[in-house]
Structure 1
Amino acid sequence: MKPFSCILLFLLLSIAGKTQTDKIFIETNNTALVYKIGKDKKVTQVYIGNKLSRSDYKDLNAGQEIYLTAGIDNQFEPAIRAVHNDGNPSLDLQFDHYNQRKEANITYTQIMLKDPAYPFQVTIHFKAYNNENVIKTWTEIRHQEKKPVMLTQYASSLLHFNAGQYWLTQFHGDWAREVQMAEEKLSNGIKNIESKLGTRTNFYQTQTFILSLGKPSSENDGKLIAGTLGWTGNFKYTFEVDQKNGLRVISGINPFASEYYLAPNEVFTTPEFIFTYSATGKGLASRNLHKWVRNNALLDGNAPRMTLLNNWEATHTSFNEQRLTELFAEAQQLGVDLFLLDDGWFGNKYPRNDDKAGLGDWQPDRSKLPNGIAKLVQEASVLGVKFGIWLEPEMVNPKSELYEKHPEWILKLPNRAESYGRNQLVLDLTNPSVQDFVFGIVDDMMTKNPGIAFIKWDCNRSMTNAYSTYLKDRQSHLYINYTKGFYSVMERIRKKYPHLPIMLCAGGGGRTDYKALEYFTEFWPSDNTDALERIFIQWGYSYFFPSNTISAHVTSMGKQSLKFRTDVAMMGKMGYDIRVNNFTEKELEFSKNAVKTYSDISDIIWKGDLYRLISPYDQNRAVLMYVNNSQSRAVLFNYHLNLRKKDSFSKVLLEGLAPSKNYRIREINLLPDTPSALPDNGKIFSGAYLMEVGINIAAGKLQSLTSNIIDITEINR
């Protein structure tokens, strides 16, 4: 290293406040990730875990490389592989310098690595969120060679662990059974969690995981990291246990069919890998991530949300202006904020009367809506109800005017028969003209109808049989550039309509990631709205997503009571998709009261700390609670599932309360003229008692598919 560079390095390390000039510290209030700069200029990870004093790190010297390369001496899965202009398929990344600065709650760190033989650099970025104890990391790759360099692997993050044993919790599923939770012990070799679906990427696998270190973790015990990738496209996690029981976790874009030709001076920026470390179980990890999402990722994360009534179950695609106006009145009667018009309102040459036609032709169907959308917005407004609308802007039916006019805008293979998913194809968002078109759908809708207060953005097809005429000889850029094109459209929408609520939907929960939440206010977890199934689905999402992102609607699906279905919806962002005019008088009264009750408790549910008390995976019941920041109020949800004769439930120990405070226990959301059967209803207990002794919420004869919501409010004696 040149003398000036040595002086610069010394100054940078001094400014960062280092007493150990060979170490780089990535720290939050409770967590530390520590790297060592070796004499060989290699940067190695020497620690990850609870934050220690600086003196405790002085003897940590043995570690693994921060960003393993391919082609020289690494014998394991690399984080990066590049082929240079001369055909050399190797990299040697050595330390050049690092920068670190702190602004309010965030500490920024950049570690620059360079290849000594080629003009090739990798910058590894970290943002440590001190209060939330969350770390975000990503890489930037660039070079100054004369021609493009081919990248075949380009991870966002590589983390090393030496716990000896590892348990991986992953979330998988299918349509209508999303985020089913499974845990397994990792053995020697490689396990991958990945998606190659392009658009509806979470169809089978979700890009979230929990890695327990040393032993399986419970809600309140065990060391672990909970991690996820901020990327609405193909992803891949590689978990490699070596011969010494060391573990490497590589996270990033799935490089399948995605060799990237990086032009000179172009910067390839990977998605962000976001993770939190917990030494006291999964519950703390979830609370860390929920706070981080609300404060730093989710659009308007701490703002109020609207309760809506959707027309899909009431009408499907068969409706007219008069029928919708009747539904506005039902929304007003129910007391919700907004009416959402779902699929079926568009298309004239090819009207959208089912899923076989019309996608791409976003003009109101004149036969159904002779006065257009503007009339609907006006009629809803007269009743004091806001109006929202469904769109699927990235898709096209072959039976559409758009397909006829712009076949070059559609992803489809040359010399092959078209292959459809839900009778549709995907538009080519790598093409700027298509990006303009998709932005124009929203912009035209909002310009003509500025009273629209909500959009449901759907995406019902995965990206298979994909080929872009726009990309020509760079087809391997398709998956990456499509996702970037999607973000480009959303950036434009958000620049012009920064606070318009938009729900993210993809045939159910096919798109649920932290990057998308920067542009959307909530997501649709599943098309399965059976309340019993939803307990498991919403439970799975709760490990990573705060409740104000998880749309949960009261529908007629399933055989449970209206109260049970309503109670399940209340633990998320509640809405309705049901025929209100079919309610009995008692059901209508209950539902109107439920909307008011939800308005009263929603702030606790949306912003409070979540405590999962009893898992439906462990017992035939599910119990969870939310506690507000001041610990002055909490809401507890109790659900009995399909019970068996052997089931006998003990008291439930509460969590998150202040031991010295006193709380009144009161059951809410009861049916009209129905008193609570809870023996402790109305009683006052100390927080210490509730957390050490607990309360009985399974009184009397146990019944399947019953539920309780309990308000726990501080009382000043």
Structure 2
Amino acid sequence: MKKIMSSLMALLLACQLAHAQETIIVSTKNLALALEKDADNNLVVAYFGQKLAMADEYRKVRPLDKYKPGNDDLFNRREAYVTGGSVNLLEPALAVTQSNGDKSLVLHYVSSKVNRIDANQTLTEILLTDPQYQFEVKLFYHTYENQDVIEQWSEILHHQKKAVVLNKYASACLTLSGNKFFLKNQRNGWGQEMSPEEQELLHGIRTIDSKLGTRTNLLHSSSFMVSMDGPATEDEGTVLAGSLEWNGNFRLDFETFDEYYLRITAGVNNYASAYTLQPNETFTTPKFVYTVSTTGRGQASRNLQRWARDYRLCNGTKDRLTILNNWETTYFDFDDQKLSHLLDDTKTLGADVFLLDDGWFGNKYPRNGATSGLGDWQVNKAKLKNGISSLGKEATEKGVKLGLWIEPEMVNPKSELYEQHPDWVLKEPGRKEYYMRNQLVLDLSNPAVQQFVYNTVENLFKEVPQLAFIKWDCNSLIYNAYSPYLKNQDHFYLEYVRGLNSVLAKVRKQHPDVPMMLCAGGGTRVDYKSLEYFTEFWASDNTNAYDRIFIQWEYSYYFPSIAVDNHVTEMGKQPIKFRTDVAMMGKLGFDLKVHELTPDDLTFCQQAVKVYDTIKHLVWHGEQYRLQDPYNNKVAAIAYVSPDKLEAVIFNYYVSTKFETPINLPIKMKGLDPSKKYSVREINLYPGTKSPVNSEPTYSGDFLMKVGFNPEATARRTSVILKVTAI
């Protein structure tokens, strides 16, 4: 009997332990997040890192932890979603004021379910509740198996009789373990987008945020990388790359604790944005996307880029159009005759689209500069006597497409729109208006304004049925942050973005295949929420090709090249070949006075468009490898390799700014098949030049990746494009 009782007790204890240690595995091909219910029904992070071969071993991880948190230990708990006012006194992901004024929230694990979306996607949903306050939080983990990417967000709901205030409501918090942590992020400024910084995360909280309302990446990027144990390199080290999918104010908190841990909390910035959640109303946070690589930053980038093309970027697997923009050719000074010549130039160049930029609208207050007309979206009859529809017809007759610039979220005080609808403008009661670029922001929290913006875009498509491209600009921050429409100003920053996204979703639903460029005084509005609606973004108003090498290099850590608009302009003193070669590392466009080009320069540009057509599939859809960085080398190099490893294109640029001998070591390639034989030849040569690159020998992929190949880039050969083809 004693043996039987002993066995029953052992079985009961085993069942209790199994129940207490219920494990939920969120995994991709190489990445795993193991969540467990502890003895107090808290959902904690048991493991986050490389996927284990045997799934049943995840439950063995937490017992090996150096720390054994007890009831009196306030800092070692590693909840999957930290709440404020309970036993965890670190930075919360969710902080609330209950309807009775209590600031506490204690979430207990209730249940989980897994939905297999398809062979590559899985959605895990976990329900947490605070039964004392009838408060619910659902955590969502959307995995992309082959991309090694996870999207995470939460839904917040309560069933109390009165409203609850959400004081902070992050999308996710992740707990990383390691001896040291290094944050790589990018600071921004006009013309200096994506300037890199890296620092060790020491004690305390490092916060990166935006309170700008629009153009939210103007000062800091909402994308980042964290390396564990030591700074990662391109091909070595464990690194997490993350990006918040939100085009409003954001907040990223990095808090180290207990020597060996880092908590990353990512979400909407709660600055001036306490949200009053009504009973039975569901609040959904933005998505936070991340990936982990154990082989350096390069693989993390490729994971995000592949995921973006396949699942997030609008039409990311499709083609793009090559553009000739008139901005730097004419600025606001043009008429029917000039535009007709520019249509001819577009055809001569071989580009697909002529993009008519700012200045085509406004009559009572003509848009002849940045001070007037914004908001009055009627064609300027003095400039375009035949109307905008006539220009669309002429473009079609000449064998090119027409695109238009718009900035429908903004208004000039000197406009008919401002005179007729002052209540549609964001401005603080009784205070002087503050202008940025002579304009104010329309109140997109107001449904009437949302409808106006949508109608503005839709009317253009009705007036110009041939309209084939939209450049959507945003040149102002939100300075006068008060909505005449909203009763609760704490909701303003959220409702503004919700209104904007509602308009964008309607436009995209109505015109699913029309390319749209996201522009905001440079690359200050690039995030994966916006890129659900836009096919591409303007990376910087700084089009100096030398600077662009660095800017485009940094964008590539998070965004695919197909999304990055690069134009050949007259900025900088580099040869036109250098400027064009740099612009080819993305979505090529031109902003040149084509009619003023020398015969050789024109011939080169025409040839470059044709060459680009033969390699753009690699740039847009290939796997990107950063071979040699521009910060520490004379020659910078980036490769794009086809998924089947049969071909690649390699861009090489001489970036030394001081006198150097022309002798360079071979550059090791990446991503090729070591067993295949390849030919290497230079392409996109300037007329009348001969390449010193010998295209006769063939090389194994093994040789090219271990020994490399010298592109012979020098101060006299500043840009070299190599085409690598399997034999």
Q: TM-score range by the shorter chain?
A: over 0.9
Name which of 229, 232, 237 aligns with 2:252.
Answer: 237
The CA deviation string for residues 616-666 of structure 1, in whole angstroms up to 9 with x for no partner, is: 122233101000011000000000113323565311000000011111101
Q: How does 1:547-562 map to 2 (within 5 A)?
A: 547-562=561-576
Alignment correspondent of 2:217: 202
Counterpart residue identity of residue 710, structure 1: L
1:530 and 2:544 matched: yes
Structure 1 CA distance, aligned partners of 2:261 and 2:101? 32
Corresponding position of 1:7: none
Distance 1:580 1:646, change over 3 A: closer
Residue 477 of structure 2 is matched in structure 1 by 462
Deviations 1:429-485 (A, max 9, x none): 00000000000001111012111000000000011121001013x111111111111
Instruction: State yes or no: 1:327 paired with 2:342.
Output: yes
* Distance in 1 (alpha carbons) for counterparts of 2:110 and 2:411: 49
Say if 2:606 is the partner of 1:600.
Answer: no
Match of 1:585 among 583, 599, 605: 599
Quick check: 1:184 aligned with 2:199? yes
Counterpart Cα distance in 1 of 2:19 and 2:301: 34
2:417 and 2:550 map into 1 onto residues whose CA distance is 40
- Which of 78, 83, 86 is matched with 2:92 structurally? 78
Q: Contact between 2:81 and 2:93, CA under 8 Å: does it hold in 1?
A: yes
Q: In the aligned structure 2, how far is the partner of 1:381 from the partner of 1:370? A: 18
Offset of residue 71 of structure 1? 1.0
- Residues 523-553 of structure 1: CA deviation (Å, up to 9, x unaligned): 0000000000101111110011110100000
Aligned equivalent of 2:665, options 634, 640, 650? 650
Change (3 A) 1:38 1:21: closer
Q: Does 1:134 align with 2:146?
A: no
Task: Give, in whole Å, the separation in 2 of the partners of 1:451 and 1:72.
Answer: 59
Counterpart in the other structure of 2:13: none
Find the counterpart in structure 1 of residue 24 from structure 2. Answer: 24
Cα separation, 2, equivalents of 1:410 and 1:36: 49
Aligned-partner Cα distance in 1 for 2:672–2:19: 40
Alignment of 1:297-696 (within 5 A): 297-472=312-487, 474-646=488-660, 649-678=664-693, 680-696=694-710
In structure 1, distance between residues paired with 2:59 and 2:37: 13
CA distance in 2, matches of 1:238, 1:384: 52
Deviation by residue 1:33-58 (Cα, 9 ceiling, x = unmatched): 11011121100001111100213313
1:580-620: CA deviation from partner (whole Å, max 9, x where unpaired): 01111111111100000001100011000000011112223
For the residue of structure 2 that corresponds to 1:206, the secondary structure is coil
| TM-aligned CA deviation for residue 697 of structure 1 | 1.7
Contact 2:20 2:39 in 1 (8 A): no
The CA distance in 2 between the partners of 1:95 and 1:55, in whole Å, is: 20
Query: For the residues of structure 2 that align with 1:314 and 1:706, how far apart are their CA atoms?
Result: 26
State the Cα distance separating 1:82 from its structure 2 match. 0.6
d(CA) in 2 for partners of 1:704, 1:231:
44
Q: Deviations over 1:309-356 (max 9, x none)?
A: 000011000000110000000010001111000000000000000000
**CA separation in 1, counterparts of 2:395 and 2:440?**
34
Which residue of structure 2 lines up, in the alignment, with residue 274 of structure 1? 289
- Pair 1:51–1:243, CA change in 2 (3 A): closer
Q: Which amino acid aligns with 2:451?
A: D
CA distance in 1, matches of 2:20, 2:569: 60
RMSD: 1.3
CA contact (8 A) 1:359 1:397 kept: yes
Q: Which residue of 1 aligns with 2:227?
A: 212
Q: 1:133 to 1:44 in 2, by over 3 A?
A: same
Q: Which residue type is aligned with residue 41 of structure 2?
A: K
Q: Deviations over 1:135-182 (max 9, x none)?
A: 000000011111211111001000001202000000112011101111
For the 8 Å contact 2:21–2:39, the answer to whether it is kept is no
Report 1:97-136 matches (<5 A). Answer: 97-104=111-118, 105-136=120-151
Moved over 4 A (4+): 18-21
Tell whether the 8 Å contact from 2:679 to 2:724 is kept in structure 1 after alignment: yes
Contact 1:114-1:122 at 8 Å conserved across structures? yes
What is the CA distance between 1:698 and its match in structure 2?
Answer: 2.7
**Aligned mates of 1:56, 1:223 — CA distance in 2:** 22
Equivalent AA in structure 2 for residue 709 of structure 1: I
Q: Distance in 2 between the 1:669 and 1:659 partners?
A: 27
The answer as to 2:90 corresponding to 1:89 is: no
Asked whether the equivalents of residues 560 and 705 of structure 1 are also in contact (C-alpha less than 8 Å), the reply is no
Please name the residue that 1:706 is paired with: 718
2:68 is aligned with 1:54: no
How far apart are the structure 2 equivalents of 1:505 and 1:228?
A: 19
> Higher mean Cα deviation, 519-528 or 21-30?
21-30
| 1:189 to 1:413, Cα distance in 2 relative to 1, 3 A | same
Q: Give, as a single letter, the amino acid of the residue that structure 1 aligns with 2:356.
A: L
Does the CA contact (< 8 Å) of 2:314 and 2:535 recur in 1?
Answer: yes
- 1:9 corresponds to: none
Contact kept, 8 Å, 1:604 with 1:626, in 2: the verdict is: yes
Q: Is the 2:20–2:38 Cα contact (8 Å) retained in structure 1?
A: no
CA contact (8 A) 2:519 2:537 kept: yes
Displacement, 1:244? 2.8
CA distance in 2, matches of 1:596, 1:451: 24
Q: Could you report, residue by residue, the CA deviation over 1:41-92 in whole angstroms, capped at 9, with x for unpaired residues?
A: 1000011111002133131225611111111222110111110111111100
CA distance in structure 1 between the aligned counterparts of 2:483 and 2:326, rounded to whole angstroms: 36
User: Is the partner of 1:533 in helix, strand or coil?
Assistant: helix
65-74 or 600-609, which deviates more: 65-74
Q: In structure 1, the residue corresponding to 2:26 is in which secondary structure?
A: strand
Map 1:247-262 → 2, pairs under 5 A: 247-262=262-277
Look up the SS of the partner of 1:155 in the other structure.
Answer: strand
Secondary structure at the counterpart of residue 58 of structure 1: helix
Specify the SS of the correspondent of 2:699: strand
What amino acid does structure 1 have at the position aligned with 2:210?
S
Measure, in 2, the Cα distance between the counterparts of 1:618 and 1:507.
Answer: 29
Residue matched to 2:40: 40
| TM-score normalised by the chain length of structure 1 | 0.95
Determine what percentage of the aligned residue pairs are the same residue.
47
**Matched-pair contact (CA < 8 Å) for 1:171–1:180:** yes
TM-score, length-scaled by structure 2: 0.94
Return the alpha-carbon distance in structure 2 between the equivalents of residues 663 and 257 of structure 1.
58
Aligned partner letter, 1:703: A
- The letter of the residue matching 2:32 is A
Who is 1:10 aligned against? none
Contact kept? 1:652, 1:695, Cα under 8 Å? yes
1:103 to partner: Cα distance:
2.2
